[in-house]
């Protein structure tokens, strides 16, 4: 990615439920199941991305998004780019 492309990506709008954190994009994608929301996220950085679904379920969609962001940030802090290793 060029320098200009990197700068543009910093200012491009994110979809609902997505945030930027330490150079990563975390997209929270709550999955409704039996009236509760399962934590699901896609973490990406440049051309790498990884999808995670956790066993946790919560009753409120916004709480699910917040909890997903917290858990993804923790994973990024612990593993860094190793989250993309298979």
Domain ranges of the chain: 3-84
CATH topology for 3-84?
Double Stranded RNA Binding Domain (3.30.160)
Can you give the pLDDT at residue 56?
87
CA–CA distances in Å: residue 27 to residues 2, 4, 40, 63 = 23, 23, 8, 14
pTM of full prediction above 0.85: no
| 43-55 confidence digits (pLDDT tens) | 999 999 999 998 8
d(CA 5, CA 9): 6
d(CA 10, CA 58): 31
């Amino acid at each position: 990615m060029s320098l200009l492309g990197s700068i543009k990506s910093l200012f491009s709008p994110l979809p609902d439920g997505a945030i930027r954190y330490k150079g990563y994009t975390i997209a929270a994608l709550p999955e409704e199941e039996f009236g509760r929301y399962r934590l699901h996220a896609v973490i990406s950085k440049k051309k790498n991305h990884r999808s995670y679904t956790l066993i946790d379920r919560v009753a409120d969609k916004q709480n699910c998004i917040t909890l997903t962001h917290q858990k993804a940030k923790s994973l990024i802090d612990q593993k860094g780019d190793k989250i993309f290793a298979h």
